[in-house]
Amino acid sequence: MTVPVFDEAFREQLDSLFLWRRDVRHFRRDPVPESVLDHMLALTCSTPSVGLSQPWRFLRVDDEARRNAVRAEFSERNAEALAAQRQSDSGAYAQLKLAGLDRAPHHIAVFCDPDPSQGRGLGRLTMPETVQWSAVMAIHSFWLAAQAHNVGLGWVSILDPERMNSLLDAPAEWRFMAYLCVGYPDEEHNTPELERRGWEKRAPERQLWISR
């Protein structure tokens, strides 16, 4: 086995990958080739996980009736979120583009098996939530793999987890983690859309270590 050497040129490219990985809401309709999607998933499965449990479950949602049900679920939850916003924020919230459900060619739901037999429980006794954290790491790996292929990804979180299990006929014990819209982006940006629209801005102090 040849151990790769990651040089300065590679590190600069990796920096760009992280900086250009954005939460995409605006998609083209043309599909991503199946070979690219399969490669993204294969890379994702190299993600580290507690006890090598690989608790993530990636579910393709191709059926249009199920997609429509997810859209309806999002609309209902989004209306609730809008009603809960402070009056001073409600107008800005209403103008935000929070999902790419209508145009993204691929819909992928990610679940976590909270007690997978794989891994035989190693590392979970005192911190069982590390199983879910492992699934979140897999989502991030999938996101980076997508960006490396110039594919956009948008994470839709305004959904009720229990309702999603039912809509997608997922095993009751699985925990819903994310609904991902995947496809080629209409446009590329290296700053978050929420920042561009003035909803929030990055905090420079988050780049500093906290010392004790």
Q: How many CB atoms lie within 10 A of CB 155?
A: 16
> Of 118, 126, 120, 109, whose CA–CA distance to 54 is shortest?
118
Write down the pLDDT at residue 82: 86
Mean pLDDT over 190-195 rounds to 84
Residue 97 CA to residue 5 CA, distance in Å, equals 41
Closest to 135 (Cα-Cα) out of 106, 163, 161: 161
pLDDT digits (tens, 9 = 90+) for 120-147: 999 999 999 999 999 999 999 999 999 9
Domain ranges of the chain: 24-187
The pLDDT tens digits for 76-100 are: 999 998 888 877 677 777 777 778 9
**Superfamily, domain 24-187:** NADH Oxidase (3.40.109.10)
pTM of the model: 0.92
Question: How many angstroms separate the CA atoms of 121 and 114, rounded?
Answer: 11
57 has a pLDDT exceeding 80: yes
Sheet-wide strand order for 56-60:
56-60, 106-112, 175-183, 152-156
Beta bridge partners of 156: 179
Please give the pLDDT value at position 88.
Answer: 64
| 125: helix, strand or coil | coil
| Residue 192 pLDDT level (bands cut at 50, 70, 90) | confident
